[in-house]
Structure 1
C-alpha cells in the first residue's frame, strides 16, 4: 500500500509499505478515506520529537471504512468510523477515571522505558508519533491497523455527514474543546488564545460556546487572525503590538481570566528569550522554545488559569516560577482525552451547532503528502489545514 513515511528532518516520502494485518483479537483494519496533516506532525517534520525511525508511517488524524476485524472487535465490516489519535484500552486505572490519554496499556511494555525515563511515567500511545508513543503506524496511508477497536473508534451512522465534517473529531476539535474546558470559564470571562492554528481556532469557538464574554486571539498570520475575528474574537498581531502591554490595555490592567497556549515548543518571533532558546536548540543545549508559556504566565490575571494544549517535549529554562506562585495561577495541561468528547461533539456537529469545514484550505491525494508537509510548514497563512484523500 501507499503511505507517508518519515525519513528524517524535512524528509517525508510517499512509500510503498506492507499492508497492515490483524495482530490482536481486538484489532480492526480500516481503509482510510480521509487523513489530515496536523500541526503536531510539523514537530516530527522539524525533527523535534525523539525516537523516530526512517520509514515510520505518519498520521494521527484519520477516519475510514472497516474492512477487517479481529474476533474480539465490536466493529463490523463496512462501518464508517473516526479514530481518536491516542490509543486507549478502556480497562486500566486511568481509563476507568476517563483520563484516556493516560492509558497504561496502549503503549507496549517494550516501548515504555523511554517515557518513564523522560517524564517519570510511560507516555500514552498514539498513531504515527514516534516509538516514544508506541511506534504504531499512522493513518496517512491507504490502510491502518486500529488496536482496541472495541473501545476507541466512534461509528458515524449517518452517511449524509461527509468526512470533512467529522474528521477533526480525531484530534483537533476535542483538543480545542478540552483546552477551553480546562479554563473553567465563567460568564463574563475574558480568554486569551495564543496561536490561531487549527487547535487555537477550535479553542476560540469552544470558549465562546462555554460562556466567555471576550476572546482575544494572538497570532501574526493575517488569514488566521481573520478567521478568529469571524468567530467574534478580538485580535492582537504579535509582530505589530507588544502582547503583554496590549492585553493589559484591553483588560483594564487586570489581565485575561484565562490564557490558552496553543503554540507549544516551536514558538516564533524575534523575542529575546525566543532567540536564546533557538540558539540553545540549534546547538543541542536545549529542547523547547517556550516563549509562549512564559508569556501566558506573565499576562494572566492573579488567580487565573493557564491551559496548555500546545505540545512540549523536553525541559525549559527561564520558567517564571515566581510569577506562577505569587499570582496563584492554575496550570492545566495534557494530551487530550479524546474518547470523552467524540460522542457529544459528534452530536453537536450533526445538530449544526459546530462547523469544522471552514478550516480546510486544501485537499490533496495521498501521494501529494510530501508536498503538503512542505506547504503546511512554509505557508501556514495559506495552508490552514490539509486533508489527504487516498484514492483521490
Structure 2
C-alpha cells in the first residue's frame, strides 16, 4: 500500500509499505477513505524528530470502511463505516472507565513515561503505524472505532478522529456554563477554529487571536470577535479593554510549543532535531524548553479566578512557569491529550443533525491526494495558500 512516511527532519515521502494485517484478536483493518493532516504532525516534522525512525508511517486522523475484523471484535463487521480516534484505548482499564482514555493503562508507554499510544506518533507514543495510508490496523477496534452512518460525505465525520473531540475537551475544560461569558481562544488553526465554533454554539462570547488574516476571517464569519496579533502590542491589555478591565473568564491555548516568537528557542529546536537520536532524546526529555509565548499570553489575559485550558501540545521538561502570577491570580489550569471516546458520543449526536451545526463539511480548506502530502506538510507549516485544514483521500 501507499503511505506517508517520515524520512528525516522536515522530510516526508509517500512510499510503498507492507499492507497491515490482523495481529491481535481485537484488531480490525480499515480501508482509509479520508485522513487528516494535523498541527501535531508538524511536531514530528521538527521538534520531535529525535523520537522518529525513517520509514515511520504517520497520521492520526483517519476514517474508512472496515475490511476485516479479528475474532474477538464485537459490534463491527466488514463494510461498516468508521472513524478512528487518534489515541488507542482499550475501554476496560481503570483509566478508560473514568473517561481518561488518553491515559489508557493497557496502551501506556511506560518506558517513556507517557500516556496512551497514538497512531503515527513516534516512539514516545508506541510507534504505531498511522493513518495517512491506504489501509490502517486498528487495535481494540470494538471499543475504539466509532461507527458512523451513511448519507453524509466523509467531511461530516472525519474530524471526530481528533479535531472535534480535542476542541470539545478544550471548551469543557474551560468550564464556562453561562451564556455570554467571555472565552479567549489563542490560535485560529484547526483546533482553535473548532473550539470557537463549539463555544459559539453554546452561547459564549468568543474572542480569537491569530496573525493570519484568512484564519481570522474564518472565525469572524462564524460570529467570533477577533484580534490580529500583528495589529496590537499587548493582547492581554486589548482583552481587558473589551471586558471591563477584568480579562477573559477563560482562555484556550490552542497553539502550544511552537508559538510565534522566541526565535532562539526555535533555533534550538531545529538544532536538536538534527542531533543523533542517542543525544537528542535525553536532551528533549530532561532539558527541553518550549516556545511559551502563547502560554504566557493566556496567563496574562485570563481574569483573576479564571481558567486556562491547554489543548496545544507542550513537550518541554524545563519550561519556566510564572508560579507567583498563577498563585496570585488564582488561575485554574487544565490540560491534556483529548479523551476522544469520552466526548465522541455527544459530538456525534451533534454531527448527525440534518443541519451542519459546526460547519464541518466546509471545514477543510484543501482536499488532496495522498501523493501530495510532502508538499502539504511544507505548505501547512508555512501557512501558505490559505491552508488551515488539509485532508487526504488515499
Q: TM-score range by the shorter chain?
A: over 0.9
Maintained 8 Å contact 2:8/2:49:
no
Maintained 8 Å contact 1:223/1:381:
no
Secondary structure of the structure 1 residue equivalent to 2:342: helix
> Aligned runs of 1:222-371 on 2, under 5 Å?
222-242=213-233, 243-269=235-261, 274-282=262-270, 284=272, 286-351=288-353, 352=355, 353-371=357-375
How many Å apart are 1:275 and its aligned residue?
3.5
Whole-Å separation in 2 of the counterparts to 1:236 and 1:50? 36
User: Structure 1 residue 382 and structure 2 residue 382: aligned?
Assistant: no
User: Structure 1 residue 372 and structure 2 residue 373: aligned?
Assistant: no
User: Structure 1 residue 12 and structure 2 residue 33: aligned?
Assistant: no
Name stretches of at least 5 consecutive residues in structure 1 with no aligned partner: 117-121
**Superposition TM-score, scaled by structure 2 size:** 0.92
Whole-Å separation in 1 of the counterparts to 2:138 and 2:47? 26
Worse-superposed segment, 39-48 or 66-75: 39-48
How many Å apart are 1:137 and its aligned residue?
0.2
1:125 to 98, 117, 135: 117
Question: Counterpart of 2:281?
Answer: none
**CA 1:375–1:145 in 2, change beyond 3 Å: closer, same or farther?**
same
Question: Counterpart of 1:198?
Answer: 190
How many Å apart are 1:49 and its aligned residue?
5.3
Worse-superposed segment, 131-140 or 335-344: 335-344
**CA 1:67–1:259 in 2, change beyond 3 Å: closer, same or farther?**
same
User: Structure 1 residue 62 and structure 2 residue 65: aligned?
Assistant: no
User: Structure 1 residue 112 and structure 2 residue 110: aligned?
Assistant: yes
**Superposition TM-score, scaled by structure 1 size:** 0.92
User: Structure 1 residue 30 and structure 2 residue 34: aligned?
Assistant: no
**CA 1:15–1:383 in 2, change beyond 3 Å: closer, same or farther?**
same
How many Å apart are 1:346 and its aligned residue?
1.5
Q: How many pairs does the alignment contain?
A: 375
How many Å apart are 1:380 and its aligned residue?
4.6
Secondary structure of the structure 1 residue equivalent to 2:141: coil
Maintained 8 Å contact 1:5/1:15:
yes
Whole-Å separation in 2 of the counterparts to 1:257 and 1:276? 32
Secondary structure of the structure 2 residue equivalent to 1:193: strand
Alpha-carbon displacement from aligned partner over 1:182-212 (angstroms, at most 9, x marks no partner): 1111323111000000000111011122331
**CA 1:354–1:283 in 2, change beyond 3 Å: closer, same or farther?**
closer
Maintained 8 Å contact 1:277/1:290:
no
Maintained 8 Å contact 2:61/2:161:
yes
Whole-Å separation in 2 of the counterparts to 1:381 and 1:319? 36
Maintained 8 Å contact 1:222/1:381:
no
Secondary structure of the structure 2 residue equivalent to 1:301: strand
How many Å apart are 1:374 and its aligned residue?
1.4
How many Å apart are 1:297 and its aligned residue?
0.8
Name stretches of at least 5 consecutive residues in structure 2 with no aligned partner: 273-286
Whole-Å separation in 2 of the counterparts to 1:141 and 1:186? 40
Worse-superposed segment, 195-204 or 346-355: 346-355
Q: Provide runs of 4+ in structure 1 moved above 6 Å.
A: none
Whole-Å separation in 2 of the counterparts to 1:194 and 1:155? 32
Secondary structure of the structure 2 residue equivalent to 1:254: coil
Alpha-carbon displacement from aligned partner over 1:342-375 (angstroms, at most 9, x marks no partner): 2221221111233212221111111111111112
Whole-Å separation in 1 of the counterparts to 2:219 and 2:48? 28
Whole-Å separation in 2 of the counterparts to 1:253 and 1:283? 42
Whole-Å separation in 2 of the counterparts to 1:380 and 1:340? 34
Question: Counterpart of 1:119?
Answer: none
Maintained 8 Å contact 2:288/2:315:
no
User: Structure 1 residue 185 and structure 2 residue 176: aligned?
Assistant: yes
Whole-Å separation in 2 of the counterparts to 1:377 and 1:53? 21
Secondary structure of the structure 2 residue equivalent to 1:3: strand
Whole-Å separation in 2 of the counterparts to 1:156 and 1:280? 43
**CA 1:282–1:51 in 2, change beyond 3 Å: closer, same or farther?**
closer
Question: Counterpart of 1:208?
Answer: 200
Secondary structure of the structure 2 residue equivalent to 1:151: helix
Whole-Å separation in 2 of the counterparts to 1:54 and 1:310? 26
Alpha-carbon displacement from aligned partner over 1:196-246 (angstroms, at most 9, x marks no partner): 00000111011122331x211000000100011012111111111021221
Maintained 8 Å contact 1:363/1:387:
yes
Alpha-carbon displacement from aligned partner over 1:8-37 (angstroms, at most 9, x marks no partner): 111000011011011100000001000010
